[in-house]
């Protein structure tokens, strides 16, 4: 079965590939080994369910291990070492293993056969999906991430949602799911009323404020982005000290939502100006949305939804407000009712989120909706999810998933700020990182490179994204520019440096007139090579659970291990200087595979590697 594939599905350019698939080489290595052990357990008349295999936690002793004999001892009233001994006997001639040992008190220590391992990697290299299986039942998933608020500048709080969400989206797609990314703009709340109010003070003569006006409104916005960015904080500041001003803004928000023409027209201007700006910023982050929908798009769904909730008896009026009870018996803390409408009839954050669920069900009928939002909003999502389920607004098996992330802190352990103590704007943060990277790159080099700036941007992005994604999302973390931009340690630049090192070996090989497509990976010649091979073989076992758990940090820790394994091999091996041509070819193939796995992983994390740095 031969089908040449020109380009990777995930943006990484790939050489022409032959798709050679074979069951045993597509399986995860641990699964395959486990199946072999199951047979051995059965052959000894032990229950195969005892044959669980994991990666070894004592890499000094073995590569994979099975502790099933210990568990089986009770059932069979035998010493675990006896059981392990029986199983091991059956596996002595097995081609999958280099060695199989029973060790006191009853461990089964496994080492993978080198030929088998090399075969496994050759198949992986020949497969455009690098032995990662495509989902058998692809799901339709909407992922709600980014969540910027229109007219407010992007700040670092929005950085995490964008970075984590983008990575989860890419992982899902790589596994074959249909994933739809929606930015879900905050474009319908009080900030809109605040801007309208402030504008009405500054430029009361604008036609948008004339209620008797019936003509067309100007095409040109009466402000620029930078004005807009100044207007919002001013208005927000005023509303905090001036009650009357705040009430005006609330009233303007309500009138906007109720459809006042002039306000809608102003709103459109605000949207256009800020969305253009947002798109530029997200592009710099390599974050890309399929849908640019927002809270305002849910508005049209609200009246019917409210009617439904009332008619079906889910919602009731409490002190003037419309609410749905969502507490459950098993709750250990109080979950307050989900408020659908305020007593003045205004909609709330709950309302738009619920109506958005209705809309998404109509548009895509997703199997799952994932929300990547600050974990401090967890209660809000508990209420919304429960309400949606209780009122049958989603199917029984529609998954609603909240991926709550922690705060990005400064070195002082407090939320990240500028040096002057202000809110750090995203643009400025990116600028500072790139500057730092640029300095390092230029310092690192003897020759001047006109690409240094572009390279600094690529490496800078890896520093930001890897620095974030390498932490478990739900935890707070410290954004440490010095550490994140370092070429050493568990950092984005270290990973890129490793990839660039491989690229440069491969291109020198090609410059010498050789082809990268020839030869095959042979048996490892030393332990650092075998270790690298074992790391590579683990790839498919990492990606699937990483997506299941929505855990990009698993990919980070995998590529850190892989990069370390590669670098130890590299330091011990003279690759291009090797005289045995077959050996050299084998290493070139191994490097090619390492590069592909690393590049695929960073693509899933949302950044890429330069040619040199």
- Judged by the rule CB under 6 A, the positions of this chain that interact with ligand ARG are 144, 147, 149, 184, 186, 353, 371, 373
Beta bridge partners of 318: 321
Q: Which is nearer to ligand ARG, 339 or 500 (CB)?
A: 339
Q: Which residue is nearest to ligand ARG (CB)?
A: 147
Q: Which is nearer to ligand ARG, 353 or 368 (CB)?
A: 353
Q: How far is the CB of 264 from ligand ARG (least distance, A)?
A: 20
Strands of the sheet containing 178-182, edge to edge, are 178-182, 140-144, 368-374, 399-405
Q: Which is nearer to ligand ARG, 374 or 608 (CB)?
A: 374
Distance (Å, whole) CA 355 – CA 297? 9
Of the candidates 153, 150, 169, 173, the one whose C-alpha atom is nearest the C-alpha of residue 161 is: 169
Distance (Å, whole) CA 414 – CA 399? 34
CA 589 centroid distance within chain: 29
Query: For residue 374, what is the enclosing H or E element?
Result: strand 368-374
Q: How far is the CB of 501 from ligand ARG (least distance, A)?
A: 40
Q: How far is the CB of 470 from ligand ARG (least distance, A)?
A: 23
Q: Which is nearer to ligand ARG, 177 or 184 (CB)?
A: 184
Strands 140-144 vs 368-374: parallel, antiparallel or unpaired: parallel
Q: Which is nearer to ligand ARG, 117 or 393 (CB)?
A: 393
| Contact yes or no for 539/597 (Cβ under 8 A) | yes
Residue in the block written with tokens 């009357």: 244
Q: Which is nearer to ligand ARG, 29 or 293 (CB)?
A: 293
Exposure string (b/e) for 26-64, b if CB count within 10 Å is 16 or more? bbbbbebbbebbbbbbeebebebebbebeebeeeeebbb
Question: What is the length of the chain?
Answer: 613
Q: How far is the CB of 354 from ligand ARG (least distance, A)?
A: 10
Q: How far is the CB of 184 from ligand ARG (least distance, A)?
A: 5
Q: Where are the beta strands (DSSP E) in 462-579?
A: 477-478
Distance (Å, whole) CA 56 – CA 53? 9
Q: How far is the CB of 267 from ligand ARG (least distance, A)?
A: 16
Q: How far is the CB of 186 from ligand ARG (least distance, A)?
A: 3
Residue in the block written with tokens 């080994």: 33
Q: Which is nearer to ligand ARG, 149 or 359 (CB)?
A: 149
Q: How far is the CB of 450 from ligand ARG (least distance, A)?
A: 39
At residue 104, the 3 state secondary structure works out as coil
Of the candidates 437, 455, 447, 449, the one whose C-alpha atom is nearest the C-alpha of residue 611 is: 455
Q: What residues contact residue 244 under an 8 Å CB cut-off, 6+ apart? A: none
Q: Which is nearer to ligand ARG, 120 or 371 (CB)?
A: 371
């Amino acid at each position: 079965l031969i089908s040449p594939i020109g380009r990777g599905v995930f943006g990484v350019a790939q050489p022409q590939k032959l798709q050679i698939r074979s069951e045993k080489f597509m399986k995860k290595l641990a699964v395959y080994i486990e199946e072999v052990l199951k047979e051995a357990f059965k052959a000894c008349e032990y229950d195969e369910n005892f044959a669980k295999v994991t990666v070894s936690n004592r890499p000094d002793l073995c590569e994979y291990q099975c502790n099933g004999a210990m568990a089986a001892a009770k059932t069979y009233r035998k010493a675990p070492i006896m059981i392990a001994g029986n199983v091991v006997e059956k596996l002595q001639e097995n081609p999958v293993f280099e060695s199989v040992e029973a060790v006191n008190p009853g461990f089964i220590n496994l080492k993978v056969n080198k030929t088998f391992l090399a075969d496994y990697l050759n198949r992986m290299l020949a497969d455009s999906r690098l032995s990662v299986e495509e989902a058998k039942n692809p799901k339709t998933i909407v992922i709600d991430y980014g969540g910027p608020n229109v007219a407010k500048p992007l700040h670092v709080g929005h950085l995490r949602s964008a970075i984590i969400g983008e990575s989860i989206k890419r992982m899902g797609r790589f596994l074959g799911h249909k994933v739809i990314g929606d930015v879900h703009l905050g474009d319908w709340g009080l900030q809109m009323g605040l801007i309208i109010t402030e504008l009405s003070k500054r430029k009361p003569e604008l036609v948008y404020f004339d209620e008797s006006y019936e003509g067309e409104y100007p095409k040109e916005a009466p402000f620029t982005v930078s004005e807009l960015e100044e207007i919002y904080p001013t208005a927000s500041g005023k509303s905090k000290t001036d009650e009357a001003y705040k009430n005006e803004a609330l009233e303007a928000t309500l009138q906007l939502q109720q459809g006042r023409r002039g306000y809608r027209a102003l709103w459109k201007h605000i949207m256009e100006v800020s969305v253009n700006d947002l798109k530029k910023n997200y592009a710099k982050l390599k974050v890309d949305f399929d849908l640019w929908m927002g809270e305002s798009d849910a508005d049209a769904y609200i009246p019917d939804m409210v009617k439904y909730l009332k008619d079906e008896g889910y919602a009731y009026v409490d002190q003037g407000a419309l609410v749905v009870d969502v507490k459950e018996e098993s709750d250990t803390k109080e979950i307050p009712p989900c408020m659908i409408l305020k007593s003045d009839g205004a909609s709330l954050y709950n309302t738009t989120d619920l109506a958005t669920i209705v809309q998404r069900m109509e548009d895509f009928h997703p199997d799952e909706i994932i929300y990547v939002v600050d974990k401090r909003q967890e209660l809000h999502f508990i209420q919304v999810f429960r309400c949606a389920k209780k009122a049958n607004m989603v199917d029984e098996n529609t998954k609603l998933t909240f991926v709550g992330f922690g705060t990005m802190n400064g070195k002082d352990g407090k939320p990240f700020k500028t040096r002057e103590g202000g809110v750090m704007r995203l643009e400025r943060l990116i600028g500072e990182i790139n500057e730092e990277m640029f300095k390092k790159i230029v310092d690192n080099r003897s020759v001047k490179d006109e690409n240094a700036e572009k390279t600094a941007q690529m490496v800078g992005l890896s520093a930001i994204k890897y620095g974030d994604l390498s932490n478990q999302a739900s935890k707070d973390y410290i954004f440490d520019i010095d550490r994140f931009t370092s070429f050493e340690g568990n950092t984005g630049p270290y990973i890129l440096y490793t990839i660039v090192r491989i690229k440069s070996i491969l291109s020198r090989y090609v410059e010498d007139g050789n082809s990268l497509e020839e030869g095959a990976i042979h048996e490892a010649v030393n332990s650092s090579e075998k270790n690298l091979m074992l790391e590579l073989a683990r790839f498919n076992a990492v990606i699937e659970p990483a997506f299941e758990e929505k855990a990009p940090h698993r990919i980070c820790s995998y590529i850190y291990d892989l990069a370390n394994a590669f670098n130890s091999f590299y330091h011990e091996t003279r690759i291009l200087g090797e005289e045995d041509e077959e050996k050299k070819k084998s290493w070139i193939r191994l490097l090619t595979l390492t590069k592909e796995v690393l590049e695929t992983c960073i693509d899933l994390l949302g950044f890429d590697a330069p040619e040199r740095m």
